[in-house]
Chain A
């Protein structure tokens, strides 16, 4: 394992360390090749395929210019899918952010139940979205699920059969899985706030609530931006969860962009239009990530994302 193959030329002893760079470059190649083949080429490929009318069934790819773009942009399904995507994005941000901050602050403090809390708390992060969605599907069954068993009228609704409720369920399940993750990020953020700031505030007579709004929240600004970026950009790609939970239904109430892409491409065999949706997905992600970065100021957002 530790035996060095003689392939590598040692840098001349007299050279400055930078001069030895030629001898390490080769180490970047395997990763570069792997990522190029299945990351970069597909990224270019999706743009190319958006100008085709490939069915996905054959390896014969007919090109059809802007046809796919025209048909997708004229299709009322596109604004609908965009609407669903942004609705789920906005709702899940609104639900997750305040709760994650509250819980993150709570977890950052030392207290007796922390250990127990933490063990149970993060279990949702470990489960696959398929497993989570299957569980909720059974749990929310109006006839045999939790509501029926407990006899609560309120819980006995047809959660996944009603358009509005189904969107709510998706947002809830997303929150169920990801609030622990974001709490973890906020917990880390809170721990970085110098204790002296709170001591100073205390001497000035600021109460808990005041301290939270005047110290904790402003100090968490960049953590909030990091967490929001992950939430917002991540929500563009919700697929597993929605697909297993509702398959985009009822009707097309939860047919977000990623689901729409899959349905067009792999169910309707229209890879051209599906690729158009994929390009739109990439563009949305880039625009959102850049917008959030600007919000936080370039340098800070950088260092936050890069710090490990």
Chain B
């Protein structure tokens, strides 16, 4: 605590008036209450994560008779082996298929729609109506329309397939993606579009050669946000699939937990394994991931 305080006490500039303070990017000083809340909450966040990891490395017997917060005396990967042998490779592949299959097309069609709305919205009532529709779509919670979706999926005979998860995931990724991508395309200077047009480029060509490179950061952000949403999705697989072969990771996790509820270390190893891909991505692209998480919500 003491060191923390020391490090944060603003360099006692009391002697000098605030003229020399360099606070360009941080208008707010360190504050005690915020710091306290920040550090305590950090502990609350980290503790369960630490516990998951160390417990997943313990044998089942050790789990029951050692201190839960003590690291394992002899760490074992036995639980991981057990989880991998329980078809988690299959579930992992399913999750990848569903995520890529939903997010790829969703971002593509959203990008096209956003482009159309920004470029043509001023002169087309149709495009303005489409825009209004997507804005309204932001307010539709997936859970609330899950029953008709279930009916549609049965009717088109896609129940218990990965496609059944992909289609609604794709559709529900569209409104927010259009909104965010539209905001970025709007920032592209009009003159650039104009000069593309002068050069005789088609709208389709302009979309790819001008808008695409200039909105690439936004596309990455949106892809990450939607990817995470679909990857972690639970309701759609729960309702629209049935057989173990079609399970995605969150659902598999839940089933696994139901089946081996006494084998806590194995259950936690499955939690670690399903989270590992995302954590790896997080380490690689933290900045983009975090901006992706608040996509469209914070300016």
Q: A residues bordering B, Cβ < 8 Å?
A: 1-2, 4-8, 10-11, 13, 17-28, 30-32, 34-35, 37-46, 48-49, 54, 56, 59, 61, 99, 102-103, 105-113, 117-131, 134-139, 141, 144-146, 148-150, 176, 179-181, 184-185, 188-195, 197-199, 202-203, 208, 212, 216, 223, 226, 230, 233, 236-237, 239-240, 243-244, 258, 261-262, 265-266, 271, 274-275, 278-279, 281-282, 285-286, 289, 304-308
Contacts and interface: CB of A to CB of B under 8 A. Distances in A.
Contacts of A102: 33-34, 37-38
Given A19-B123, A265-B147, A38 B171 contact: yes
Contacts of B57: none
B116 A41 contact: no
A120 B183 CA distance: 30
Contacts of B141: 233, 236-237, 281-282, 285
A45 B151 contact: yes
Nearest first, the 8 closest Cβ-Cβ pairs linking A and B are A45-B148, A21-B120, A106-B34, A149-B68, A18-B123, A38-B171, A128-B232, A42-B148
Contacts of A274: 147
Interface string B172-210: 101100111001100000100110011011111101110
Contacts of B126: 25, 28
Nearest to B122: A18
A27 B271 contact: no
B231 A122 contact: no
Contacts of B250: 128-131, 240
Contacts of B45: 120-121, 123-124, 176, 180
B12 interface: no
Q: Secondary structure at chain A's binding surface: helix, strand, loop or mixed?
A: helix
B162 interface: no
B231 A34 contact: no
A56 B139 contact: no
Contact of B37 (A103, A108, A124, A190): A103
Interface string B27-46: 11111011101100110111
A26 B290 CA distance: 33
Contact of A135 (B124, B167, B254, B271): B271
5 contacts: A35-B174, A123-B49, A131-B275, A139-B51, A226-B298
Contacts of B154: 59
Most chain B C-beta atoms within 10 Å of own C-beta, residue among A107, A123, A145: A123
A21 B145 contact: no
B100 interface: no
Contacts of A198: 23, 27-29
B203 A27 contact: yes
Given A13-B197, A28-B112, A144-B264, A45 B145 contact: yes
B220 interface: no
Interface residues of B, number: 130
B42 A46 contact: no
A112 B7 contact: yes
Nearest to A202: B18
A111 B30 contact: yes
B28 A261 contact: no
B254 A130 contact: yes
Contact of A27 (B116, B149, B151, B197): B116
A46 B67 CA distance: 51
B144 A181 contact: no
B34 A103 contact: yes
Given A1-B208, A121-B45, A17 B197 contact: yes
Nearest to A189: B298
Nearest to A126: B278
Contacts of A216: 28
A119 B290 CA distance: 10
A6 B205 CA distance: 10
Interface in B119-175: 119-124, 126-127, 130, 133-134, 137, 139-152, 154-155, 167-168, 170-172, 174-175
B98 interface: no
Given A2-B205, A123-B49, A308-B295, A22 B38 contact: no
A117 B207 CA distance: 39
Contact of B271 (A112, A131, A195, A308): A131
A48 B275 CA distance: 39
Contact of B117 (A28, A107, A117, A176): A28
Contact of B294 (A11, A119, A188, A266): A188
B126 to A, nearest CB: 6
Contacts of B171: 34-35, 37-39
A305 B68 CA distance: 44
Contacts of B299: 188, 192, 304, 307-308
